[in-house]
Every structure is written in structure tokens, then in C-alpha cells.
Amino acid sequence: MRKSIAQLTKGAALATLLASTFSMAEVIEIATFKLKDGVSYETFAPLDKQVEIEHVAKQPGFLSRESAKGQNGEWLVVVHWASEGDAQASMNSFMEAPAAAGFMDKIDASTMQMNRYTK
């Protein structure tokens, strides 16, 4: 079956629209990790809030962030970004952020898992 130029053009336009929509779609970033042995909620919660206020919330494309404690030192962080590029740019700058030092010092980095989902 042969397609007309109009059909091909319409298909290409739809593909371009979908590609640009996907690249600019809101991203939900989910991170889970465990605190190091001996680190309490009371010790870590202020550091978590500090990293949010002093770094994450100031990044381009930041929409919102929430965190919660689990059992046995488990921790969950959910961040909403305007795009995948914004999420990645924040991750790229995170380790250089002054507020990240105290945060990273208290978590067991070997337990860190992060995934991103597109809306």
C-alpha cells in the first residue's frame, strides 16, 4: 500500500510532536537508600531538608520534592522535574553542592537506587 505525501508528512509531524513532548515531559525521580548504621531520623531529617532548600529546590526545572523515612533506616525521596534534562543537570551538580556533603556522609551509598519516570 502506497502512502501519499500528505500521509507521510502527517506521520512525520506526529512523530516529531511525540518526540518533543516526551523530551519535555514532566519527570518523577524516585530515590531510595538506607542510612548508615547509627544515623537516626532526628540526625538525618534536618540534613535532608537542608539539601532540598539549599540545592535541589534552586535547580532549573525543579517542581517539588518530598521525602519519607521507612523502617530500619530506609529513606525515600521523590522529586518532580520539568524535564529529563533538568533532572540530569541537577544530578550532575549534586555532589559539588556544599549541602550535599553532610547528606551523603550519613547515607550508605551502596544502597542508593534511583529511577526516573515520565508523565
pTM: 0.78
**Which of 83, 75, 67, 73 is CA-nearest to residue 28?**
83
What's the pLDDT score for residue 25? 85
Closest CA to 85 of 60, 52, 107: 60
Task: Give residue 76's identity as a one-letter amino acid code.
Answer: L
Sort residue 73 into left (φ over 0), alpha (ψ -120 to 50) or beta: left
Which class for 78: exposed (0-12), middle (13-18), buried (19 or more C-beta within 10 A)?
A: middle
Domain boundaries of the chain, sorted by first residue = 25-118
How far apart CA 31 and CA 96 sit, in angstroms, is 19
Provide φ and ψ at 90, rounded to 5°. Answer: -65, -45
Confidence at residue 17, expressed as pLDDT on a 0 to 100 scale: 47
User: pLDDT tens digits for the chain (119 residues)?
Assistant: 566 565 655 655 555 544 444 456 899 999 999 999 999 999 999 999 999 999 999 999 999 999 999 999 999 999 999 999 999 999 999 999 999 999 999 999 999 999 999 99
Q: Assign a CATH topology to domain 25-118.
A: Alpha-Beta Plaits (3.30.70)
pLDDT for the residue 51: 97
3-state secondary structure of 83: coil
What pLDDT does 21 receive?
Answer: 47
**For position 13, what pLDDT does the model report?**
56
